[in-house]
Amino acid sequence: MSDKINKRKISSIIKHNASGWALLIPSLILFVMIVWRPILIGITYSTFRLQGFTPVEFVGLKNFSDVLTDTNFIQTLKNTVAYVFWSLVIGFPLPFICAVMLNELVHMQGYFKVTTYLPVIIPSIATCLIWRLVYMDGEGGLLNMMLYYLGISPMGWLSNKNMVIPLIIVAMSWNTFGSTLIMYFASLQGINQELYEAARLDGAGFFNRIRFVLLPHMKGMLLLMLIRQIIGVFNVTEQPLTMTGGGPNNASMSLGLTNYFYAFKYGQYDKSLALGVITFLMLLVLTFIYFGLDKRIEE
């Protein structure tokens, strides 16, 4: 009797959720085939010696060892960390500061939201080409033209190994500035305006309102955006590829660009897969941190 009741319950649950499963299953199949299947194949093939895209010999962790002992790996990893560092110095605080200023505006908020978002609609590659023209060596570059009119000798902007990564980060930050600002602004709009009014009545100035009202509310959002930006910048590839090709002297080479060169410049697909797995594991750790912070903030 209990078996019949259980079967009826299961049948009822299936009928009740049939439309949901009908919508979910195609997306789930596509997700598995397009995302997880290539990841698993890549992890498997990274333990083989490849001839083209065909595994010919199982080599275990040799590909990983070759990548990690490559003379350029440590320098490339340092460059990638430098990308993250400069993105946090240049690209992380500015959108938040501008969002706070925009939130304080009484007039023309719509105008500034539209104008700051416009660079976001420009494709990343196009942005890199625009900024490469800005940084161009000689008198043809926009920055050097400005220096020329000021009576200053032209500079080699992207050919300076000490400046190249911060300059690339400026271009990246310009491209993503608007979307980040809008996210901060949307979160700021969720703050109860009565708290601001109470702070004003208590005599709190602009900076005290930020300290005692705004920052406690925005702490979670700032942490999430911090981890999100680190994950995004850690995988930087097309910007150094388009603007410098990894130069000068590998000064702007990143892990993502090294991976690209392994595969499409040197034809070493096994090493490319091994480096991809290493990068994937690094990003996986950051992703778990991201979800852990997200869950803690929601609670």
pLDDT, tens digit (0-9, with 9 covering 90-100), for 116-140: 888 889 888 899 999 999 998 877 7
Lowest-confidence region among 7-16, 50-59, 250-259: 7-16
* More confidently predicted of 291 and 78: 78
Average pLDDT over residues 68-77: 90
Q: Is the pLDDT of residue 197 over 90?
A: no
Counting Cβ atoms within 10 Å, is residue 236 exposed (0-12), middle (13-18) or buried (19+)? buried
Residue 298: the pLDDT is 61
Tell me how far apart the alpha carbons of residues 155 and 85 are, in angstroms, rounded to a whole number. Answer: 24
- Dump pLDDT digits (tens) for 232-245: 898 899 999 999 99
Confidence of residue 105 (pLDDT cuts 50, 70, 90): confident
Beta-carbon count within 10 A of 106 CB:
5
Greatest CA separation for the chain: 95
pLDDT score at 9: 66
Give the mean model confidence (pLDDT) for residues 102-120. 82
Q: In DSSP terms, which residues pair with 185 in a beta bridge?
A: none
Which stretch, 137-141, 146-150, 286-290, has highest mean pLDDT?
146-150
pLDDT band at 166 (very low <50, low <70, confident <90, very high): very high
Please give the structure tokens belonging to residue 29: 């199949």
Q: Indicate whether 194 pLDDT > 80.
A: no
Percent helix / strand / coil, the chain, rounded to 5: 75, 5, 20
Instruction: Please report which confidence band the pLDDT of residue 77 belongs to, taking 50, 70 and 90 as the band edges.
Output: very high
The region of weakest confidence among 103-107, 120-124, 147-151, 276-280 is 103-107
Q: Does 168 score more than 90 pLDDT?
A: yes
What's residue 291's pLDDT?
76
My answer on whether omega of the bond before 248 falls inside 30° of 0, hence cis, is: yes
Whole-number pLDDT of residue 47: 92
Model confidence band, residue 278 (pLDDT cutoffs 50, 70, 90): very high
**In which element (H, E) is residue 56 found?**
strand 54-58
Domains of the chain: 67-298 (1.10.3720.10)
- Spacing of C-alpha 92 from chain mean position: 11
Say what the alpha-carbon torsion angle 44, 50, 56, 62 is, to the nearest 10 degrees: -70
Whether residue 2 is predicted with pLDDT greater than 60 in this model: the reply is no
101 confidence band (pLDDT: 50, 70, 90): confident
Band of pLDDT at residue 275, cut at 50, 70 and 90: very high
pLDDT at 226: 87
What contacts 6, CB < 8 A, 6 or more positions away? none
